[in-house]
Amino acid sequence: MALLIESVSKAFGEVKALDGISLEINPGEVFGFLGANGAGKTTAMRIVLDIIRPDSGSVTWNGRLNTELPRETWGYLPEERGLYAKMTVLEQLVFFANLQGVRGKAAVRETRDWLERFRIPDYADRRAEQLSKGNQQKVQFIAAILHDPQVLLMDEPFTGLDPVNVALLKQAFLELKDRGKTIVFSTHQMETVEEMCESIAILDRGRVVVAGSVRDVRRSTGRQMVRLAVQGDSEIAWLGTLDGVHVTRRGQDYTEAEVAPGHDPGTILAAALSRGCEVRHFQMTDPSLEQVFIERVGQIDATERTLAPSAVQR
């Protein structure tokens, strides 16, 4: 009972867009897809939607192959946004609802309902070309969810929205999650992922670098982060001299250091006290997703370049 992506590969000519990715996304979960441009996020989504077929591997939802599922199962917000410029908002939303199996008055009612929720009920009779980009994006989001799909796939849903609309969209996400929908979205914004997602996968060059719950992913490096602030010494120069400790950020508020796997962060506190420092702040955390992302994606990048330069032909 899940969205299962099993050993999916897809090549476009010479370029391997996906190289045997496997993922399990649990029903009712908010799942984040992370990856640099060209990592294969969009291709993966299109394969799940059966818009393109993989060269090998399969996708199942609750045990049924995606090729056999009705299209209404999915709601899709593509990365490339577009609407019919000359049609009114209401007309085209009803059109999309019709295509996805919502008929007659129900389509109009649902459309008006969602426009209301996104605070754009007055735009129902405007042509799409008269709307701002942000409002067009909201209309597209509505087009993706009007038919109450079981699984939502959203490609960069938050880019290009102002903070107010981002908040509105996040609210809608949570509401859909409460209704039991499974939501998969891709993004570059790490804070959004840490805020919204239960599980994530980091993709790089068509491979899953790391996947799992957000906490597991953050711990996957084995490193821990320590934030330390002491009275009267904003530099804390001695911190970098400790074994297995690497300072990553120096600030007026606190200094952040990375503690290598196998080293006890507690030794930092002990060292500070033994030097007679007045500790104002001491915090142990996991690395942020951003740090994990940069480390993992950067690392693979480096190995591939040094070990297998011939494999990176583009």
Indicate the residue among 148 and 198 with the shorter CB distance to other proteins.
148
Indicate the residue among 124 and 144 with the shorter CB distance to other proteins.
144
Report the residue count for the chain: 314
> What is the C-alpha separation between 21 and 33, in angstroms, rounded?
13
> What is the C-alpha separation between 170 and 157, in angstroms, rounded?
10
> What is the closest distance, in whole angstroms, from the C-beta atom of residue 242 to other proteins in the complex?
52
Indicate the residue among 96 and 293 with the shorter CB distance to other proteins.
96
> What is the closest distance, in whole angstroms, from the C-beta atom of residue 51 to other proteins in the complex?
5
Instruction: Say how many CA atoms lie within 13 Å of 1 toward its Cβ.
Output: 3
Indicate the residue among 102 and 211 with the shorter CB distance to other proteins.
102
Chain positions contacting other proteins, by CB under 8 A? 46, 49-53, 67, 71, 74-76, 78-87, 95-96, 98-100, 140, 143-144
Taking every pair of Cα atoms in the chain, the longest distance, rounded to a whole number of angstroms, is 76
**Residue 283: partners with Cβ closer than 8 Å, 6 or more residues away:** 226, 227, 228, 254
Indicate the residue among 57 and 244 with the shorter CB distance to other proteins.
57
> What is the closest distance, in whole angstroms, from the C-beta atom of residue 35 to other proteins in the complex?
19
Pair of tokens at residue 147: 């038919």
Indicate the residue among 73 and 288 with the shorter CB distance to other proteins.
73
Pair of tokens at residue 225: 């982060």
> What is the closest distance, in whole angstroms, from the C-beta atom of residue 75 to other proteins in the complex?
8
> What is the closest distance, in whole angstroms, from the C-beta atom of residue 183 to other proteins in the complex?
15
> What is the closest distance, in whole angstroms, from the C-beta atom of residue 86 to other proteins in the complex?
7
> What is the C-alpha separation between 40 and 55, in angstroms, rounded?
14
Give Cα 281 distance to the centre of its chain: 32
> What is the C-alpha separation between 245 and 248, in angstroms, rounded?
9
